[in-house]
Amino acid sequence: MDKIFIHALKTEAIIGIFDWERQVKQTVLVDIEIGADITKAALSDSIDDTLNYKRVAKRVLAFIEGSQFHLVETLAEHIAMLVLEEFDASWMSLNLSKPGAIRSSRDVGVAIERNRDDLTRWRAARGAR
């Protein structure tokens, strides 16, 4: 499987469980890999035949900047579902980190992989609420 990737996408968001974290935006870094068949684009040399990573990056950045989740786990899950749903991806992986969240550590975060079946289960779980 081919992959399209975006590494070290950097932005700021309200994220965290402590009162002070709810008041100040913190840096968030995201690495995204999306499963894609790039054969058609490679043959045509046309952006219309591939996943436009600029559109993905802009959408993910806008989502993160507008979010106010408590947990990085929740933010990561929502980003994954957004990419699967809005960009019709079959599979994706995501690393999301908060640099400096723990003293003496470069960063902390989560790494997840999701696919279309996960999106179907996520939709059903959200509908059951």
* Catalytic sites, residue numbers: 98
Q: How far apart are the first and last CA of the chain?
A: 35
Pick from 91, 105, 75: nearest CA to 9: 75
Burial of 21 from C-beta contacts in 10 A (0-12 / 13-18 / 19+): middle
Q: State phi, psi for 10 to the nearest 5 degrees.
A: -120, 135
